[in-house]
Amino acid sequence: MTDGVPLKPRLKPDEYRCVWLVPEGGGETRRIDGDVELIADRPPRGNAYGDVPMESQISPNGETSTSFPQVYSHAILRGELRNGLDVLLLDAQIVSWHPDAAAIDARAALVGYWSKSDDSLAFDDIKLQITSLDAISGVGPLKSFTFPTGGTDFYKRSWTVKANPESEQSWSDSGVEFELGYDASLSIGDAYFYRMSFSPTLWIKLPDRLNFDDCLKTWVEPIRRIVSLASGRSEQLTFLAMGVRSGDNVPPARERRLQVYGYGISQEPFASRGNEVSRIKPAFTTKWNGISLLDLVRRWQSLASEHHPLLETYGSSIVIPRQHPRAQYLLLIQALEGLHGYEHRSDTERKVFEHGNKREQVVEELELASCLSAPVMRFIKKFLAKRPLSSLDACLRDLFGALPVDVTSDLGNTNLLRSVQDDPRLPQGVAGALRIIRNDLAHGTKGYPVQDLNEVSQVLERVARAHLLRVLGCDVEVQARAVRPEQH
């Protein structure tokens, strides 16, 4: 619902009549009536009716024939909506099974006013809204207000509201600017009704224009994941618009921003409400923890370029619907094991080198001893490990110990780990029990109750969350809030 919400979409998700401008050979364009369906959290689709372009074949005897389906692809397909707005479909595919009609599918739709001569679709201006953006801001748009309490005072005292300038936060570096704040809406001039509402938004200004995909990959997705990491929830992208603000051939003001419709955008801009914000317990707020959202994004980009294992495993999972507890458990153990290996890779390389030298020495001495048969030597060479043994137990103990809050008691008190302590394989403490469970699940030799796996996975997820915040540069206070949000 967008009633009373300051941040308004260009168009609500619905079906709209339009005229498609279909490219033809020789640089010509054919105007074809049709429609487009803008769908929340789904790729757009449309139809074209009438004189749809066709390719025909001429047989050796001179007869003309047309085969179906006819399929055409366009990197950008333009359309003109009945209300005057432009619609641009990205990676559009036109499929026709009939000379007078075609279906259109596309990856995304951009709606607004856009210069007919500009097909570059490169942007340096991004405006977005993500759920919980207000919670991680930490500051509301109103500082104070007074109002009559009733009785005779109601008509004698004034209503006063003071805005909070600290709710506007900004960060910049290397020409990039982030502005985190609120769009406001006021109802005035009505003697019977008064309302104020505020929508949290983030405005990104870039020094150079980027194409659509780079805007998503470099800026929009990292921000969504960071907000989700802070809140501990899978947050939604509710609104996204891209435009231009600088450079050559800047269009008129009304043509500078296009709203995006496609997969992963709920198209439900919202206004903040205090009771909803207070229910969220974020690991940090940019205001009170002195954290730069831009710095976090820069660090995220750097980790992505390094293919950091924790970012590519756990970091990629925090914005998708929760997986089955079995899959979640295995992913989290893999993420933590990858993190430990990445951070101790120099030590691991040294141990591998030393182990290799020792192995060669042992094999040479056995060969010189001449007391072993050739088949035995072949067996030893084949199966004597070329790498030193690694221990998941030690890895997990190191990672648990690096946290500012002890999680071993939380894990040890779960039903699953208490039951595994009696396993005949004799696990050594919490880490050993987690290893046994991982091996059973990964090799398919044993299953465990879903509820019990879920209980353990929830604790492990808080561990992974705290470590990813640490890797991003957040301090121990933030890490502690991620591990035990209920205590803060």
In a domain, 1, yes or no: no
The neighbouring-strand residues paired with 145 are: 161
Q: Are residues 183 and 302 in the same domain?
A: yes
Q: Is residue 5 part of a domain?
A: no
pLDDT for 325 equals 94
Q: Do 115 and 130 lie in a common domain?
A: no
In a domain, 228, yes or no: yes
Burial label for 2, CB within 10 Å (0-12, 13-18, 19+), is: middle
In which residue ranges of the chain is pLDDT below 50?
1
Continuous H helices in 138-220: 212-215
Residue 477 CA to residue 177 CA, distance in Å, equals 27
Shared domain for 242 and 337, answered yes or no, is: no
DSSP string over 289-345: TT--HHHHHHHHHHHHHTT-HHHHTHHHHTTSPPPPHHHHHHHHHHHHHHHHHHHTH
Separation of alpha carbons 337 and 310, rounded Å: 9
Residue 4 lies in a domain: no
- Is residue 31 situated within a structural domain? yes
C-beta separation of 134 from 80 below 8 A: no
Tokens 């949290």 — which residue?
Answer: 200
Instruction: Compute the distance between CA of residue 380 and CA of residue 36 in angstroms, rounded to an integer.
Output: 68
End position of a domain, from candidates 286, 311, 336:
311
Count of all residues that appear for the chain in the document? 488
Give yes or no: residues 331 and 410 share one domain.
yes
Residue range 4-24, pLDDT digits in tens: 899 999 899 999 999 999 988
**368 lies in the same domain as 462:** yes
The reply to whether 352 and 278 lie within a common domain is: no
Residue 1's pLDDT is 47
Q: Which two tokens stand for residue 450?
A: 């879903």
Supply 423's token pair: 């396993």
> Final residue of a domain: which of 311, 327, 353?
311
Neighbours of 72 (CB within 10 A): 18
Distance CA 369, CA 34 (A): 86
Q: Let me know whether 323 and 441 are in one domain.
A: yes
Q: How many domains does the chain have?
A: 3
349 membership: H or E segment, kind and range: helix 345-369
Same domain, yes or no: 318 and 307: no
pLDDT at 88: 96
Residue 360 within a domain: yes
Give residue 371's pLDDT. Answer: 78
Residues 459 and 475 in one domain: yes
In a domain? residue 8 = no
DSSP annotation of 265 = B
Give 354: exposed, middle or buried? Use CB within 10 Å, 0-12, 13-18, 19+: exposed
Could you tell me if 418 and 437 lie in one domain?
yes
| Domain co-membership, 261 together with 401 | no
What is the pLDDT at residue 395?
94
What per-residue confidence (pLDDT) applies to 231?
95
Closest by CA to 119, choosing from 110, 128, 129, 127, is 110
Which two tokens mark 474?
Answer: 């957040």
165 and 94 housed in the same domain = no
- Its domain, for residue 241, covers 124-311
